[in-house]
Structure 1
């Protein structure tokens, strides 16, 4: 039973499953660019055994989405896996999926929560939220007395979903006082942003951020420019902005797609749509807020993959610069956004990467600017007042190593959920390595679940002890075929980049 009405799920191998429980009303018509509203109550029992519509999205990112998942604006729903519907208060883990703020869904097979729930006797929740122009295009500067547009709608959706968890999860066997948010890529970036959002305070008690692009949060000036370009693509003038709520959704998504492709091509290292500093949901730049001690006082696990950028070269995506030319343009853009920064410092950073004109160095700079350094800056700052653990995911199967892909962006996902082989023509185990991968997956799952249950990622199976991160030793867990703990493994990188947060504004 939820606050809106009764729901019917099903049982899968002793795990209770509910799909597509609405946590908000369909954001259609006048609600298209507004904050999520409570769903209308229903009579009787709502069937929640099948996935509903996923968030409207384009196809320009070349990322695999199951072909049977249909997009539609009535997409604000969540899924629940629970090992028992009784009086036991189980730890709750809420997953926020990634996809560059423009693609993805909680209905993707890799995010099926049954295995994870079973290992930890836990409740797993996966949520949808609005994407692309519908979720992360800030049109608030175009608001009129007649037509009001709000900022950071995707984040507002996530907050609404977390409020649903707080108010309803006890009915599904979960403990509303023990909620861990975990996510990857833009899902992790959402988490690091929510960790400095006053509106999200108290809605979660622990956080796990896997490969967060934490500096991909932009200011109002950049947001205004993108909003006006969006209108240009749709051949609308600002005095016709009210028509956006009535346009066919396909036209909106086509314009969003064009921006997704156009913006990073013009300004490498930036995303078309991402969280925006609005003084409300996002009061300031998140990494800077962490550095000022303004993050919520909760335990945090944060980390990155060793070869983050190689995925974007493989799928030929402009979302991340991977060629020497694009990386050079990214560095010029960062320098322009930080005119008071020392040119000597930027030169020092560039010179620390040998063979800057070659692809390997370009991939390394892109990885470090987009993922590694933001995570290190956050870990260092957050550890000053709250328990923090830092990791680096190095595990890669023989096939991924042979293909020069390595432990790239998103290869950690099947390890966390224990779901391998969820995409067609998956080459992961073509040269073996399944046994090792399953062992690594088991260790990660047990650590993540122990953290959600007790606030400490201590696997009780004899796995390597993982000490908290702190500024004297900077102990870091290297996740590979065998886990190791290393002191300050990225020391040279960290010292070269320094303490100053470098990103686009």
Structure 2
């Protein structure tokens, strides 16, 4: 979605109700401490009616200041699966973003654009944990967070069933993200941001979006640095698999291929209910895979991202990537089927890997399994799942990118005493409050029941200062005596281990990395 560059500037307004003019019309926000905030600014039209399964389109313009002090509809999803304010309402008018800014005048500030996670089917930028105020104030940066379409509306590839009357486009969630980044390019200067200094960052499927966008020609030039926290980089599927998933989706939705246009007319929550059912079925029948995920379409996603990184086809920008020490433990704790955490489920996942990679010999697979002595127990199963889903793909991505651009690799190892006692540890998503500085955002948050707040706040400060230095300078500089973090390369593989005291270690997962090699899940 291309727009004419905006030359709008901040309009006069009351100090507590800042008004900024965008390419589509003025928006009124509010002050929170030292920061101005605008919620639910539309970056695209509501994808309803004939736009439901199409690329995002520009919103209609408006003349009077639009109130942007409350959150609007969030992407349709089943509420209750992730921590979301129950007052938020799912709906299709969800293509909006939020902005936090220290000031709308003076020198342009670096911009950080957040892409939330949620397995491509859950979540919203309105979650309290993603509030960007503290990050904006600490770093004197403009923070942006976006919504995008999820589940069947955003990441199930129905394009093989398109007809002249009803067209279904690919990778709609990624198209939404690109449209949001185009809005940032064209409008963020009016909010005090520098459109030439944009860092995109995300976690889980948000990080998977980051690594995918880093190989998308359509996203080239829209951001100038990237941070990927726990990216499932290999959860991108081919067109044939995408068509198979779409066929099963139609069966669950009760829609005949000849009558596919019904999907444009179905109540939106029925569309989502069918994709939820498909997601559960996929997790049960093919552990370790997702029903809703990006697909290789030759356009937005020209090829498998991991292969693109290996071939040197990722955008030439500075890059931070890393994982958490015990990613899979969260999925065991919340009893989520999205990641296999039992020996049976992990064995099924490994059989699926072997089927998808016929060149992978039984001996090679056995060698990988033998590297995990507790594979018959939950501990070993979770270790394999962590490495297959997050750690190894992230290492492969770092290897490829480091051959041509500055790259930094980390492993988040810290867990509070309570999280250790609950056997959650440094699991998937536990670094999020450290990045944003937002602790206690759950209705019942046990994080500090056994202490550890002071240490956590110190670690949070270090992470935030590194992320902010990266956004400002393209280097996660050591600040306030923090451990120097050298770039990653294939010779030394220096990795920052984030814990009570940070440490830089050469190739900390060497034996497992060498056992896996770089061909098992890398796709060619």
Correspondence 1:358-377 to 2 at 5 A: 358-377=377-396
Q: Does 1:275 align with 2:294?
A: yes
Check conservation: 1:288, 1:501, Cα contact below 8 A: no
Q: Which moved more, 1:247-256 or 1:434-443?
A: 247-256
Report if the CA contact (8 A) 2:304-2:523 is conserved. Answer: no
Other structure's SS at 1:250 match: helix
The 2-side partners of 1:128 and 1:187 are apart by 11
Q: Of the candidates 8, 19, 31, which is equivalent to residue 11 of structure 1?
A: 31
Aligned to 1:449: 468
Gaps of 5+ in 2: 1-20
Aligned: 1:200 with 2:219: yes
Q: Map of 1:110-125 to 2, 5 A cutoff? A: 110-125=129-144
Cα distance in 2 between the residues matched to 1:478 and 1:439: 15
What runs of 5+ residues in structure 1 fail to find an aligned partner? none
Secondary structure at 1:328's aligned position in 2? helix
1:78 equivalent among 87, 94, 97 = 97
1:207, 1:299 within 8 Å by CA — same for their partners in 2?
A: yes
Is contact 1:189–1:209 with CA below 8 Å preserved after alignment? yes
Provide the residue aligned with 2:109 in structure 1: 90
The size of the alignment, in residue pairs, is: 504
Of the three residues 44, 49, 52, the one matched with 1:24 is 44
Q: CA deviation at 1:500?
A: 1.1
Structure 1: which 4+ aligned runs deviate by more than 2 Å?
none
Q: Does 1:309 align with 2:328?
A: yes
- SS of the equivalent of 1:492 reads helix
* Counterpart residue number, 2:233: 214
Report the counterpart of residue 484 of structure 2 in structure 1. 465
Q: How do residues 387-406 of structure 1 correspond to structure 2 at under 5 angstroms?
A: 387-406=406-425
Contact 1:19 1:51 in 2 (8 A): yes
Q: Separation in 1 of the partners of 2:518 and 2:252? A: 39
Q: Offset at 1:459?
A: 3.2
Aligned to 2:198, what secondary structure does the other structure show?
A: strand
Is 1:149 the counterpart of 2:168 in the alignment? Answer: yes
Instruction: Give the distance between the partners of 1:58 and 1:225, measured in 2 at CA.
Output: 24
Task: Indicate the residue corresponding to 1:227 in structure 2.
Answer: 246
Give the TM-score normalised by the residue count of structure 1: 0.99
1:32-431, aligned counterparts within 5 Å? 32-59=52-79, 62-431=81-450
1:345 deviation in Å?
Answer: 1.4
1:468, 1:356 → 2: CA distance?
A: 33
Distance 2:47 2:523 in 1: 30
CA RMSD of aligned residues (A): 1.0
The structure-2 alpha-carbon separation of the partners of 1:59 and 1:331, relative to structure 1 and needing over 3 Å to count, comes to farther
2:3 corresponds to: none
Q: Residue 396 of structure 1 aligns to a residue in which SS?
A: coil
Q: Contact between 1:230 and 1:259, CA under 8 Å: does it hold in 2?
A: yes
TM-superposed deviation, 1:503: 6.1
The structural deviation recorded for 1:231 is 1.0
8 Å Cα contact 1:287/1:501 also seen in 2: no
Distance 1:312 1:460 in 2: 34
Aligned mates of 2:412, 2:251 — CA distance in 1? 42
In 2, the alpha carbon distance for the partners of 1:273 and 1:99 equals 11
Q: Deviations over 1:468-497 (max 9, x none)?
A: 001111100000011000010010011000
Correspondence 1:495 to 2:482: no
**d(CA) in 1 for partners of 2:41, 2:135:** 20
Q: Hey, what's the Cα distance between the residues in 2 that align with 1:423 and 1:375? A: 28
Distance between the aligned counterparts of 2:85 and 2:368, measured in 1?
Answer: 41
| Partner-residue secondary structure (3-state), 1:336 | helix
Local SS of the residue matching 2:100: strand
**Alpha-carbon contact 2:119-2:204 (below 8 Å) kept:** yes
Q: Describe the SS at the equivalent of 1:500.
A: coil
Q: Which residue of 1 aligns with 2:4?
A: none
SS at match of 1:407: coil
Contact 1:59 1:257 in 2 (8 A): no
Task: Measure, in 1, the Cα distance between the counterparts of 2:253 and 2:486.
Answer: 53
Partner SS for 2:295: coil
CA deviations on 1:204-253 (whole Å, 9 max, x unpaired) are: 00000000000000011111111111111121111100111111112111
Superposition TM-score, scaled by structure 2 size: 0.95
